[in-house]
Structure 1
Amino acid sequence: MNWAGRLWRAATGADAFSDGPRRRLAVASFVDSLGSGLWLPSMVLFFTRGAGLSAAVVGVGLTCAGITSVAVTPLVGRVLDRHDPRRMLVLSYAIRTVVYLIYPFVHSAALFIPLVCLAQAAAQAGRSARTMVVAGLADEEERIRMLAGLAAIRGTAVGLGSLGATAAIVADTRAAYLAIVLVNAVSYVVAGLLVRTLPTLERAQQPEAHHQTKAERRQLLRDRRFLVLAGLNAVFLAGDSVLLVGAPLWITTRTSAPPALVGVLFTLNTVLVVLLQVSLGKMAKTLSGAGKAYLLSGATLLLGCAMFPLAALGGVAAAAGCMVVGVIGLSLAEVFSQAAGWSVPLALAPDGKRGQYLSAYAVGEGFMTFAGPGLITVIVLDGGGLGWLGLGVVAAAAGVAAQWLCRTGTPQTTRG
């Protein structure tokens, strides 16, 4: 095996995909993410230039989709605890396939907004279901390694897909955008068929989840440590909006760095996350390890944010250098927080409630999806350098608090 092959195996944790079901899940994740990589860069252009919707309508629709994903998470958690998560993941792919097959016929807000909300709700359910599938296929020691490997695989696929999207964006025709929509729909079909071949997981065979008392259903709301950790986790997710919204705005409006640097920084982030997710993410295999990962995430997010105001003070070379260091910090923060975000709900979930805990933890992700860009825009345009430093300090404090909560005692309930 050449050096490139060895690097790929190390980066993706290929040893974690040693049997047939795990390999099929990995292939399904790759195919799904390849389609997503094609779709995400061209999504807004498809709806505005290909479907004729206004930018305001698209913005309202995407905001409604983010709110919907937050609203459905409690229901998703209860469903996942009652049914085989493999079947729920297949259903998520099926719903998204139907939505994307209807997208070519969208020309009004009345059809666009319900469809994009349905697609986002299905995607949110699919993420929680996939984590539960991994938990069913791997033992406690291997779960985080397998999840990290899947994240590396998905990141690689999204990067490759985004290269393909460039051709459609350059062509800028309705036919090119329609091709991307249909390819993405096909990717969901292929991924769903692969997941359907996975073995039935034990969760579907636990009927006690159907007969919980009201007190048992409220157990999650009484788990204050978990709820605080879920809230703190949302702070670290702000790093995504910093990269997607904050960095491009800051580079183009407040620094002397060339606008082309934005694409370079996106590529740098993708490469770093793919290469480091498995090797660094493995520290979060335990609850205490997840606390350390959160601490490091807060520290590196502070480093990344501190580089932004410095980039505004120098010339072209200094600005570019500071932005590169800043994105390295953001990338490390993403790796650490993502691994901790998988570990905490799996470690703290009682038997029969893993789906509810995973879905509750995902609320922060859904919230930051629609609120994060706006918050970061306010920091960039109004807060300036002090805004960036304030965000970094908040993230560092969240890291300290999360580590303390993760090492305070042990989970009070048996792990699911």
Structure 2
Amino acid sequence: MAVFRGKASEAGEAKVAGERSLLLGIGISAIGIGMYVPFSLVFFHHVTGLSFTLVGLVMTVTGVAGLAFMPLAGSAVDRFGAKRVNLVLYGIRALGFALYPFAGSLPAFAAVALVTALADRSFSVVQQSLIGEVARGAARDRLQASTRALQNAGMGAGALLVSGVLALWGTGAFTWTAWANSLAFALAGLLVGRVRPVPAERSGPSAGRPAAGYRMVLRDRPFLGLTAANFLTALGYSALSVLFPLYLSTWLAAPDSLTGAAFTLNTALCAGIGVLVAGRVRRSGARRTRSAALGALLFAAAFAGQIVLGTLRPGQSATLVALLVIVVVYTLGELVHSPSGGALSVSAAPEPVRGRYLATYQLSYSLATALARTLPKGEWWWKSAVLGTLNIGAFFPLLFLSAYRLPGGVAAVLGSAGPLFVVGLAALVLGERASLRTVLAAVVGAFGVSMVVLTADAALDLVGVVAGVVSSASMAAGTVMTKRWGRPEGVGPLAMTGWQLTAGGLVIIPVAALVEGAPPALDGDALLGYGYMMLINTGIAYWLWFRGIGQLSATSVTLLGPLSPLTAAVIGWAALGQALTPVQLVGMAIAFGATVAGQLAAARTPQSFSSSEKNDRNISMDLTDGRVRR
């Protein structure tokens, strides 16, 4: 019961008004989360009656949308205060789970899931901000440790509770657990509402004015460095649930039951001694930076121990003892790093823009968790690196180099020659025999694009021409090899897209740093544009592109390429008032006609599909079928 105390036992720690209510609310909320998170796909399938495919798709899309919403949650905290936003999020979650049993159609489920996902994804940002709002100094560390202990205990209790309910009353009890979740979130909100923030610390007349917004965060390089370091450490938090089971089964050939034992031990230690370990670290007088670094070193020691154990492979008894030590060391790293790292991020954030700072910091956890859940395995590490380099890492730098050095639309014409590269590579690698009509469609399409984009100031430059040709060849090779390799079993196009974007980004970052230096500070408009390019123009666009490669032949996909400059010309006419000449209009008609003709020609060629592509086709049928399986 020491967790629920109202006064700190250590001297110098200020009392937090309403601390017992705050922690009790966090514990009840964690029980609600534990009742559905371990069974989320099955939970929502039974509650709504929708198919597993539709539930999984909606959860993926709404989860991504929730990540994009986190910066807005940070802004809301700075504007309205963490406590108010926290109560709003509790209310949204309570309402969402109360409505889930009535969301039997796809639009209704998607709407409820979207609103609830926005609240779920943003909650960690708001809760961290609330700790900073109600506590100062060492009290923050204590609250961080108590919060983590209660979350582990609550989620474990919630999972056990729902398992018992299902064992007694079957899957029909999922509806009642949804309403129990709603009640838990509502009660948690009422309890948290009793906590009282401490007066704001003002260092100047403008201390409470968050005028700088995210520009201030992006200019704070020490904080961005802290966030980047936390991203690497956050991968360690996901290791027990993602990498440890794989390590046991593939490297040690150990029984799967050991995974459950490791989870149980980790949860019990976090719930039982988390506050004690954090208190011991706090009383030692260690700086937060050093204790956070110590936690990261303990993570590293646990991973090094796994490598040594997998290499030596001693007898069964020694292996079990070594695994026990590894899990204990890993858990100690978690217990030492979590309160110190969390309190460090809160303290490093200036009070007027704390919400924005913590939204940026919490993205490191969310991105690490999303990445760790679907890490490549085996040969897909190097395959993802190759595809990411061809489709993104080499393609984009060469494309922009060509565009800078070739004025007058020449770069776009070179890019429209990509289908010709794909036709040749598909014949060599995939055995796709292109008809004469397909080849003519590619040539005529490139000619039509040239009529649209070429201007009087067009000029040739050797470096630009080489860059344009190589960029087209790189994208063509990436398209063909994506078709050739398909996807590993059980991995969807969204995960494949993430692998390739990550690999391509890692190739581009050092090139951009060497050529252009550090990125400039971004204002609000630039951040909105950057967010649009990340989510819509890159993430969703590439997801659709790779999904299309799984559904169609490589030639069919690449013959859609000429539509890109045509779309740009139409947008320029509609949004910017740019005039289109008769020659451009004729060129657009030629390019569009060639695209349609190429698709018709490619459709007559029989296609074979790998197992992953057949899975894509089944998913597509699920999405287009008007009936919903129950």
- TM-score, length-scaled by structure 2: 0.53
CA distance in 1, matches of 2:130, 2:210: 22
The residue correspondences of 1:90-109 to structure 2 (distance < 5 A) are 90-107=87-104, 109=106
CA distance in 2, matches of 1:105, 1:39: 17
CA distance in 2, matches of 1:207, 1:188: 38
Amino acid at match of 1:269: N
Compute the displacement of 1:327 (Å).
1.9
1:154-203, Cα deviation, whole Å (9 max, x unpaired) = 22222222211222454583322122211111100101112223336656
Is the counterpart of residue 133 in structure 1 residue 130 in structure 2?
Answer: yes
> Residues 88, 285 of structure 1: CA spacing in aligned structure 2 closer, same or farther, 3 A cutoff?
farther
> Residues 302, 42 of structure 1: CA spacing in aligned structure 2 closer, same or farther, 3 A cutoff?
same
SS of the aligned residue for 1:237 comes to: helix
> Residues 57, 334 of structure 1: CA spacing in aligned structure 2 closer, same or farther, 3 A cutoff?
farther
CA distance in 1, matches of 2:172, 2:135: 43
Amino acid at match of 1:180: T
Compute the displacement of 1:115 (Å).
3.4
> Residues 51, 168 of structure 1: CA spacing in aligned structure 2 closer, same or farther, 3 A cutoff?
farther
1:5-42, Cα deviation, whole Å (9 max, x unpaired) = xxx52x77774496661111111111111111222222
Compute the displacement of 1:109 (Å).
4.8
CA distance in 2, matches of 1:12, 1:233: 29
1:365 paired residue number:
365
CA distance in 2, matches of 1:366, 1:83: 24
Gaps of 5+ in 2: 10-14, 383-630
SS of the aligned residue for 1:352 comes to: helix
Gaps of 5+ in 1: 1-7, 384-416
Task: Answer yes or no: is the 8 Å Cα contact 1:82–1:207 preserved in 2.
Answer: no
1:111-151, Cα deviation, whole Å (9 max, x unpaired) = 44443343232123332222333323222231111221122
Moved more, 343-352 or 76-85: 343-352
Aligned-residue Cα RMSD (Å) equals 3.3
1:389 paired residue number:
none
Amino acid at match of 1:351: E
2:287 paired residue number:
289
- TM-score, length-scaled by structure 1: 0.78
> Residues 226, 200 of structure 1: CA spacing in aligned structure 2 closer, same or farther, 3 A cutoff?
closer
The residue correspondences of 1:174-189 to structure 2 (distance < 5 A) are 174-189=171-186
1:317-340, Cα deviation, whole Å (9 max, x unpaired) = 344333322222321222223123
Structure showing the higher helix proportion among its residues: 1
CA distance in 1, matches of 2:289, 2:57: 36
Is the counterpart of residue 251 in structure 1 residue 248 in structure 2?
Answer: yes
> Residues 80, 41 of structure 1: CA spacing in aligned structure 2 closer, same or farther, 3 A cutoff?
same
Compute the displacement of 1:295 (Å).
2.0
Instruction: State how many pairs are aligned.
Output: 373
CA distance in 2, matches of 1:289, 1:341: 11
Compute the displacement of 1:216 (Å).
5.6
Amino acid at match of 2:265: L
The residue correspondences of 1:137-176 to structure 2 (distance < 5 A) are 137-170=134-167, 173-176=170-173
Q: What fraction of aligned residue pairs are identical, expressed as a percent?
A: 26
CA distance in 1, matches of 2:316, 2:45: 34
> Residues 109, 46 of structure 1: CA spacing in aligned structure 2 closer, same or farther, 3 A cutoff?
same
The residue correspondences of 1:170-209 to structure 2 (distance < 5 A) are 170=167, 173-199=170-196, 202=199
Task: Answer yes or no: is the 8 Å Cα contact 2:75–2:355 preserved in 1.
Answer: yes
Is the counterpart of residue 120 in structure 1 residue 117 in structure 2?
Answer: yes
> Residues 94, 240 of structure 1: CA spacing in aligned structure 2 closer, same or farther, 3 A cutoff?
same
Task: Answer yes or no: is the 8 Å Cα contact 2:277–2:335 preserved in 1.
Answer: yes
1:328 paired residue number:
328
CA distance in 2, matches of 1:162, 1:32: 13
Task: Answer yes or no: is the 8 Å Cα contact 2:46–2:174 preserved in 1.
Answer: no
2:460 paired residue number:
none
CA distance in 2, matches of 1:338, 1:89: 21
Is the counterpart of residue 41 in structure 1 residue 38 in structure 2?
Answer: yes
Q: Whose relative contact order is higher, 1 or 2, with alpha carbons under 8 Å and at least 6 apart?
A: 1
> Residues 320, 103 of structure 1: CA spacing in aligned structure 2 closer, same or farther, 3 A cutoff?
farther
> Residues 233, 252 of structure 1: CA spacing in aligned structure 2 closer, same or farther, 3 A cutoff?
same
Larger radius of gyration: 2
Task: Answer yes or no: is the 8 Å Cα contact 1:86–1:133 preserved in 2.
Answer: yes
Amino acid at match of 1:343: A
Moved more, 177-186 or 105-114: 105-114
2:228 paired residue number:
231
Compute the displacement of 1:94 (Å).
0.6
1:241-285, Cα deviation, whole Å (9 max, x unpaired) = 211122223334443433222222111111222234333335479
Moved more, 53-62 or 139-148: 53-62
1:208-252, Cα deviation, whole Å (9 max, x unpaired) = 688644x56511110011011111101111123211122223334
1:345 paired residue number:
345
CA distance in 2, matches of 1:13, 1:316: 44
SS of the aligned residue for 2:238 comes to: helix
